[in-house]
Every structure is written in C-alpha cells, then in structure tokens.
Structure 1
Amino acid sequence: MRYVLDPGMDRATVDGACRLWADVVNAGGAVGFVPPVTAEDVRPELLKHLTAMSEGRTRLLAGLDAAGEVKATAFFTLNTHRLMRHWVWLYSVMVHPDLQGTGTGRALMASAEEAARAMDGVRGIRLTCRGGMGLEHFYAACGYKEVGRVPEAIRVGDDDYRDDITMWLPLT
C-alpha cells in the first residue's frame, strides 16, 4: 500500500473512493452513513469533499494498492478561521474491510500524521468518531487523546443514539 497526498482525482479514483466508502459502511464502518448503501448513495458526499478540494479547503490522503485502487482514505479539512489555522480536521478515515486488522489503518494514521506535520504551521489534528464502536481505542493507540464527548449526539437508528467523541493529536 502506498499513501499519496492529493492524488489526481480522475474518474477511476472517484469511482474507487465511492466503492470504498460504500464497502466500509456496509461492513459496519462509522463514516457518515448507516447500511445498506450503494456507491451512488455516498457519491454526493464525496462530491462535497471534491468541491472543497478544488477550493483548497480540503486535502485527500489516499491509500492505493499495487493496482492503483483506492483502498484507504483520510480527508484533511483546513481551518479558515484566523485563530484556528494551526490545526486540521481529519474526516472520513476509511480502510477497506478486506484490509482491516492488517495494520493498514495504523499505517494510514501514521501517514496522516506525517502529512499534517509537513503542512505549514499545523500543530495538531482533530477528529471525531462515533461512540459504541471502540474507535476511540484505535485512535488512542495511534496517539490521539479523547478531549470531548457529546452524549447521544449521533442518531443511527430508531432508539439508537451514539456519543460524538472528539480526539486530538498534538504535533508539537
């Protein structure tokens, strides 16, 4: 797996990212949807990320396999507020279900940290994750610290509410 910051977003890459997103959701991943979804269901959300990329507000870190297929993603959103330009958001962190448990997620997070360290003036990474899935333990193992939690802020189904957990990785 090779990790590429700001890969070219040709049709094959966009379609591959849509397939990845749908596969992750349908395997139970907590990336903004609840299953079942299709690649076309997630495409509008990906297009929002792509628009932000074209405007210079978002950057994509893609994990590509030997064939160049998108198998992992992490999107950086840059802060525009003058008091918060020293940190970035990390969104839509995904690893294909077939690669989970292989170290690919840790490698993706290490590559994200490396990419953020190379961004001018960035001193931290902030992300949120859905409670009830153990994701905060994975991110903690990658060096992130839980810094906030909003109980039951995420509704994933009738009578199924999850905490919204904020994690922070200082880069200094």
Structure 2
Amino acid sequence: MSIRFHRDPAVTPELRDGVCALWADVSNAGGAVGFVPPVTREDIRPELVKHLAAMAEGRARLIVGQDASGTPLATAFVYANTHRLMRHWLWVYSVMVHPSLQGQGVGRELMAAVEDAARDTEGIRGLRLTCRGGTGADRFYGSCGYKEVGRVPDAIKVADDDYRDDITMWREVA
C-alpha cells in the first residue's frame, strides 16, 4: 500500500473524522497514545480538538500519511516550544500508525517526514518526545535516531496495578 505524507493539510470533516478513527484504532490495538483501551471515537474527540485548536492558532502542525483515497493511516503532531529559551526545538505528540501497517516501515517514513518538517523550520535544532515504558516504543524511536535523555519511573498509570515509566527521547536535526 502506498502512503503519501503531507504537512499541514486542510482540516476537513473527513480528515478530522479519519484522524479520530485512526486514534481509536491505534488505542484499541494497545497503542500508547494517551488512552487505555477500550475507547470510542467520542472518547478521543476532545483530545483531537485540542490538537486542532493548536493548529488553528499556529502552535502545532500535523504530519499525516494517507492512502490514495485520503484515509489517514499515520499521524504526528509537531508543536512549537513557546518557552523563550527553548524555541530551538519542537515537541512531537500523538505519533500513530494504523495497526494493520505496523512493522512495514510506515512509522520510519512518518518520523522521517517529521524530521523533514523540523529541518524546514528556521532555527530548529532538535525534536523531543515522550513515550510510555513497557511498550517497545523507546526501541523504535532509538532505531530512528532518538536518544533517551530522561526517565520518570512509574509516572504513567494505565491500571490500578500497572505503572509505566515516562521516557523522554531527543533527536538532533541540525
């Protein structure tokens, strides 16, 4: 399947609903993107609206991978850092690849598109993201050139008896 990556697409109802569906699919497949399954699209929608509002305000960008019909199958939101001493790096949030495409290189293509967007942004020297421990996401990001730069033990509670580390990863892009 051919996936094309786009930066800053027009947010149409179809794109909005497609990203919401993707987020629910990834979450329900066990993806660590801010929720614990089971979730519905309605559970996801308020978080998506926050990202869309940030895009409308110019604080965030969307990188989306779509198939030929325009269905979103991979996404990442890239945020400008607003702290005056940290404007030289960007935050990366909600990195998702549809479960049916995981392990096929789409995640690497998505992260390359994120890096390209960062390189095309004047003054940006790095990317920072966090991921949930115990999922293997840190190994994936490591294979994409990110380095672990911090870890907070048991900072993420996914169940009454299941706490995970919050891992901070960094990649230079300059």
Residue 5 of structure 1 corresponds to which residue in structure 2? 7
C-alpha distance in 2 between matches for 1:131 and 1:88: 21
Distance 2:101 2:42 in 1: 23
**AA in 2 matched with 1:93:** V
Deviation string, structure 1 residues 52-106 (Cα, Å, up to 9, x no partner): 1111111100011111111000000101111000000000000000110111001
| Number of the residue aligned with 2:51 | 49
Any unmatched runs of 5+ in structure 1?
none
Q: For the residues of structure 2 that align with 1:79 and 1:135, how far apart are their CA atoms? A: 23
Tell me which stretches of 4 or more aligned residues in structure 1 moved more than 3 Å: none
Q: Which residue of 1 aligns with 2:96?
A: 94
Q: Deviations over 1:107-130 (max 9, x none)?
A: 101111111110111100000000
Match of 1:105 in 2: 107
Matches of 2:64 and 2:173 in 1, distance apart?
21
Q: Residues of 2 paired with 1:129 and 1:62: CA distance?
A: 19
Task: State the SS of the aligned residue for 1:46.
Answer: helix
Q: How many residues align?
A: 172
Partner of 1:121: 123
In the other structure, the counterpart of 2:164 is 162
Write out aligned runs for 1:79-90 (5 A).
Answer: 79-90=81-92
CA–CA separation in structure 2 for the residues paired with 1:93 and 1:140: 14
Say which of 147, 153, 159 aligns to 1:151: 153
Unaligned runs of 5+ in 2: none
Which amino acid in structure 1 is aligned with residue 115 of structure 2? E
User: Which amino acid in structure 2 is aligned with residue 49 of structure 1?
Assistant: H
Normalization by structure 1: what TM-score? Answer: 0.99
SS across alignment from 2:35 = coil
| SS of equivalent residue, structure 1 residue 76 | strand
Cα RMSD (Å):
0.5
Q: What is the rounded CA distance, in whole Å, between the counterparts of 2:4 and 2:121 in structure 1?
A: 19
Secondary structure of the residue that 2:42 maps to in structure 1? helix
The code of the aligned residue for 1:154 comes to I
Q: What is residue 133 of structure 1 aligned with on the other side?
A: 135
Equivalent residue letter for 1:5: R
Q: How far, CA to CA, are the matches of 1:99 and 1:39 in structure 2?
A: 20
When normalised by structure 2's length, the TM-score is 0.98
Identity of aligned residues (%): 67
